[in-house]
Amino acid sequence: MPVSKSLSKIKKNLNSNGKKTMVHPKGRKYQQLARATLREGKVAAKKKAHNERRSIELQRIKFIQDVINMDEFKDMKTFDNEKIIIFIEQFISRDDVELNGLKAKRRANRPPTNKQLILQGKRDLETQEFERGFLCPDLTDLKNVEFLRSWNGSFGAMSTLKMTRINTKGEQVIGGNTKTATADSAAAALINDEVDME
């Protein structure tokens, strides 16, 4: 009989005869229950990190969609890398007003607030990613721009969108799926660390 890994199935098997059974701390069933509990936590943490990463990616694409749908860019069919750099810089600096307000409110010799640390950390990670190659929709492709303009904002349609990496010099970085330290993966790592601490 295959070993079940799901916590709910193991609990169900423990209470299969209708009465509550005691589990010995050094017994086989206790070890099985402990393994399933740890697995459940790891699966939940991975799911949370994946959803966080997807929502950050969705936020990026939505920002660029809003920019290219503005009246001044409505008649442009495609965009060159200089325009894409401007869009990325606008995205990275989207929280600068709030960040500067928090810095101005803080008294001298006082530690920064958590909100300020989060915003500054996010900005620093996105700036680092931009230097290596910022993941964004490919706006040099006509079909991709048309699709992005009519995109409904769903996760499912994001998979058909062609993505590229652009660095601060305006160069297209080869290997869009390479393992670089992006703001998304760093945020996911922070979430994993928080889950492990709990």
Domain architecture of the chain: domains with CATH? 7-12+24-197 (1.20.1440.170)
Q: Which of 86, 95, 89, 97 is nearest to 121 (CA)?
A: 95
Return d(Cα 103, Cα 89) in angstroms, integer. Answer: 21
Lowest-pLDDT range, 38-42, 130-134, 149-153, 189-193? 189-193
C-beta separation of 158 from 60 below 8 A = no
Position 123 scores a pLDDT of 94
pLDDT average, residue stretch 163-175: 85
Position 130 scores a pLDDT of 92
Q: What is the pTM of this model?
A: 0.70
Residues 78-101: tens digit of each pLDDT: 999 999 999 999 999 999 999 999
C-beta separation of 128 from 181 below 8 A = yes
pLDDT greater than 50 at residue 180? no
Token pair 């290997």 is at which residue? 175
C-beta separation of 126 from 183 below 8 A = yes
Position 148 scores a pLDDT of 93
C-beta separation of 134 from 102 below 8 A = no
Of 165 and 14, the one with more pLDDT: 165
